[in-house]
Amino acid sequence: MEERKIENIRIGNYYEAEELKIKIEELSKRLKQKKKKDLEMQHFNELENLEISYKRELDNFNNFWDQQFKDLEEKSERLEKELIEKHKKEMDDLLNSLEQKLPKNIKYSKEYYELKSQEENLVKFQR
């Protein structure tokens, strides 16, 4: 078109050259609009891809730490159960040991019997 415009100017056909100039400007304007629209669409697509990528990365991060937390809770519960079992076993062993070491028949002292008697007398007098 540009060549036809130049040719028309050279032969003196200014009216047609002006029409070609307007068409060229119009086509140039449309081309710029199309390029702008294409760039906007490309920007929108890239932004959408970034958002999807961000969401995926955030989900992966959350899933990873949720799993870590879950594993830690399970380990904590397991260790707590083991500790409870260990304490229970130690208490049983201690009780067994005490039962074996302590005499089966307890011999109370004279002082104990006297204090017990005083206690019973006090209870009687309070009534």
pLDDT at 8: 67
pLDDT at 2: 72
pLDDT at 16: 73
pLDDT at 20: 78
104 belongs to a structural domain: no
Question: In the structure encoding, which two tokens stand for residue 58, read together?
Answer: 């955030």
116 belongs to a structural domain: no
115 belongs to a structural domain: no
107 belongs to a structural domain: no
SS3 content of the chain, % helix, strand, coil (to 5): 90, 0, 10
Three-class DSSP category at 13? coil
Tell me the residue range of the domain where 27 lies.
2-99
pLDDT at 127: 64
pLDDT at 5: 66
pLDDT at 11: 74
CB 92, CB 85: distance < 8 Å: no
Q: What domain count does the chain have?
A: 1
pLDDT at 76: 98
49 belongs to a structural domain: yes
80 belongs to a structural domain: yes
pLDDT at 14: 72
38 belongs to a structural domain: yes
105 belongs to a structural domain: no
Residues 76 and 83: their CA atoms lie apart, in Å, by: 10
pLDDT, mean of each 10-residue run, the chain (127 residues): 71 74 88 96 97 97 98 98 98 92 82 93 84
